[in-house]
Amino acid sequence: MFPDAVAVTGAEGFIGSHLVEALVRTGHRVRAMVLYEHRGSLGCLQQLERDVLASVEVQFGDVRDQESVLSLMRGAGTVYHLAALVGIRQSYRTPRPYVETNLFGTLNVMDAARALGTARVVHASTGEVYGTAYNLAIDEGHPLHPRSPYAASKIAADKLAESYYWSFGVPVVVLRPFNTFGPRQSGRAIIPTVISQAVAGTRRIRLGALKPVRDFNYVSDIVSAFILAAMSPVALVAGQVLNAGTGRGVSIVELVSAVGRVMGLDLDVAPEPRRLRPARSEVMQLVADSAKIKALTGWAPRYTLEEGLSLTAPWFSRTPGADERDQPELSAH
């Protein structure tokens, strides 16, 4: 049905694996880059059904390596660039790898797209680039205010991608998903943390800051935003930055209550200082204004928070949860 292959960097990740699965099921030939490591792990791709995984051309490599990226993208009509280090808390401790992966990995993708004449690149950004909102809902013109080295590295990558459109005509779309959740997500993320503690019998959930407000999106909706950004007319979306979010703000206390309702449990929440971000770095409110992506691509979220949680909770209920030594993350993807 689709003559050109599509390529996905970061395919072994949470959103990447769902994107690969959706692309295969809609008839695409998918070439997936998986970060090479000595065990040969496929990451989240290992959890795909056998018939789906059998249809994926897995390529071990590293987005920081130019030859790996060129090999992956050669012959691909569309490239979804999701490879990134995303753990916010770790970026405070070791910022350099975030710059090396998120910025220089993006440089390799953009250089390859320019050299190969790639028809479309969809570059994954994050709502974290905005920092604490100045407005109730954040549109794409909101100032960028990084509160972590992770967010700073993503701003740099976004701007580099934009520059390749304006400088060299590379048809890139920057997609900014807000907080994404669903099966296969890292146990360090906030929703898996809440579910895992509840499954373990905890009724007073221990988290970090309780006042932040986030825009939570079920992963299938974010995957559809990526695909629509790739399939929409190039004249409409190339060179554009597109937010993807529900527009509904949910506090951490409200989130815990929603998880409890879905699981049939009466959950409370308490702050735990060791789980807090460094002073002055907390992002208090991130809620998306997604009018632009809706106007240009027709995208709209299908799942409410409660519907997404009802699909997510059973998966984490039967899957080992986060290590208690881990710190829950409010990262966007």
Query: Please, which pLDDT band fits residue 235 given cuts at 50, 70 and 90?
Result: very high
Phi, psi of 179 (to 5 degrees): -50, 120
Q: Give me the mean pLDDT over the 302-329 stretch.
A: 75
Q: How confident is the model at residue 188 (pLDDT cuts 50, 70, 90)?
A: confident
299, pLDDT greater than 50: yes
3: pLDDT strictly greater than 60: no
Q: Which residue has the higher pLDDT, 195 or 134?
A: 195
Confidence of residue 210 (pLDDT cuts 50, 70, 90): confident
Q: Is the pLDDT of residue 300 over 60?
A: yes
* Overall average pLDDT of the 219-230 stretch: 98
Decide if 218 contacts 182 (C-beta within 8 A). yes
What are the sequence ranges of the domains in the chain?
Answer: 5-180+217-244, 185-215+248-286+295-317
Kindly state the tokens that stand for 247. 């527009």
pLDDT at 2: 42
Tokens of 279: 């002073």
Is 111 in a helix, a strand, or coil? helix
Task: Say which CATH class 5-180+217-244 falls into.
Answer: alpha beta
pLDDT at 319: 67
Checking if the pLDDT of 36 tops 60, the result is: yes
Rounded to the nearest integer, the mean pLDDT of the chain is 92
pLDDT above 50 for 108: yes
Nearest to residue 135, comparing CAs of 213, 242, 210? 213
Quote the pTM value.
0.93
pLDDT at residue 185, as a whole number? 95
Mean per-residue pLDDT, 180-197 = 94
Q: How confident is the model at residue 47 (pLDDT cuts 50, 70, 90)?
A: very high
pLDDT class for 295, splitting at 50, 70, 90?
A: very high
Instruction: Give pLDDT, residue 331.
Output: 47
Asked if pLDDT for residue 322 goes beyond 60, the answer is no
Q: How far apart are CA 294 and CA 243, in angstroms?
A: 9
Please tell me the predicted confidence (pLDDT) of residue 111.
Answer: 98
Exposed, middle or buried, 19 (CB in 10 Å: 0-12/13-18/19+)? Answer: buried
Structure tokens belonging to residue 320? 């080992």
Average pLDDT over residues 284-298: 97
**pLDDT > 90 fraction of the chain, expressed in percent and rounded:** 82
| 3-state SS string for 55-72 | CEEEEEECCCCHHHHHHH
CATH of span 185-215+248-286+295-317: 3.90.25.10
Per 3-state DSSP, what percentage of the chain is helix, strand, and coil (rounded to 5)? 45, 20, 40
Mind giving me the DSSP string for 283-309?
--EE-B--HHHHHHH-------HHHHH
In which residue are the tokens 């990740």 written?
Answer: 13
Over its C-alpha atoms, the chain yields an Rg (Å, rounded) of 19
In whole angstroms, what is the distance from residue 71 CA to residue 150 CA? 27
Q: Is the pLDDT of residue 14 over 90?
A: yes
Identify the weakest region by mean pLDDT among 102-116, 228-242, 253-267, 269-283.
269-283
- Report the alpha-carbon distance of residue 175 to residue 33 in Å, rounded: 19
Are the C-beta atoms of 276 and 126 separated by less than 8 Å? Answer: no
**Cβ 23 vs Cβ 7: under 8 Å:** no
Whether pLDDT at 326 is above 70: no
What is the spatial distance between Cα 93 and Cα 246, in angstroms, rounded to a whole number? 32
pLDDT the model gives residue 38? 64
The mean pLDDT value for 64-83 works out to 97
30 and 48 Cβ atoms separated by less than 8 Å: no
Q: What is the pLDDT of residue 97?
A: 97
Distance from the Cα of residue 177 to its chain's centroid: 6
Tens digit of each residue's pLDDT (9 = 90 or more) over 122-162: 999 999 999 988 888 999 999 999 999 999 999 999 999 99
Res. 33 pLDDT band, cuts 50 70 90? very high
For 173-229, give the secondary structure using H, E and C: EEEEECCEECCCCCCCEHHHHHHHHHHCCCCEEEECCCCCEECCEEHHHHHHHHHHH
> What confidence score (pLDDT) does residue 333 get?
53
